[in-house]
A and B are shown apart, each in its own frame.
Chain A
Amino acid sequence: TQLLEQSPQFLSIQEGENLTVYCNSSSVFSSLQWYRQEPGEGPVLLVTVVTGGEVKKLKRLTFQFGDARKDSSLHITAAQPGDTGLYLCAGVGSGGSNYKLTFGKGTLLTVNP
């Protein structure tokens, strides 16, 4: 069974601070996805990283896939209250099938003004 461990589980910071969320596994994934979920809504895909060592940037968000494709990180620079939400990482299995994702339990981020 493939498992994804996310840390920290909860994070409360002030506007303007930087933060990093980690997603680790003992299993290799063909790719890894990051989602953000807001209250009352389903998760929304932010990014997919595919190649070991890959770094992707989305405005103030930087995503990195580990060289061995077992771990990933999400770094937010100068966090804003609009970044508040549940951040989920999800691994795509070795078959590459996006319809069966293995999710971490999430990091609940609160950015205080």
Chain B
Amino acid sequence: KAGVTQTPRYLIKTRGQQVTLSCSPISGHRSVSWYQQTPGQGLQFLFEYFSETQRNKGNFPGRFSGRQFSNSRSEMNVSTLELGDSALYLCASTLGRIVDTQYFGPGTRLTVL
């Protein structure tokens, strides 16, 4: 079974631009969570989607948003990029039950210049 895939793997943007990242979960998984990983803050939870609805949200500004499609694929969008948004963005998928194991994708490395 194919794992979690994320596209693109690398992205370079400039301040003020916006960016959209994509995540395709493991087939059959209905929950997708997004995390931001930086050397200073580590892995921080952004939000989680289940059946096209945001089910949980972390403490990030409104510039960070997401959505999930009927096929469980998810996108996250960051508007008005700041230098501090440079990070590895990881998504993880599960079947959707609260005790299910999360399977992470390889991440999208975003660099904001």
* Interface flags, A18-54, vs B, CB<8A=1, else 0: 0000000000000000000000111111001000000
User: Does B104 lie within 8 Å of A43, measured CB to CB?
Assistant: yes
B66 close to A (CB within 8 Å)? no
Chain A facing B: main interface SS: loop
A105 surroundings in chain B (CB, below 8 A): 41-42
Tally inter-chain residue pairs, CB-CB below 8 A: 61
For A90, what are the chain B residues with a Cβ–Cβ distance below 8 Å?
43
Name the residue in A88, A97, A99, A102 with the highest tally of chain B Cβ atoms < 10 Å from its Cβ. Answer: A99
Q: How many chain B residues touch A (Cβ–Cβ < 8 Å)?
A: 27
Chain B positions within 8 Å of A, measured between CB atoms, are 4, 31, 33, 35, 41-45, 48, 50, 55-56, 58, 90, 92, 94, 98-107
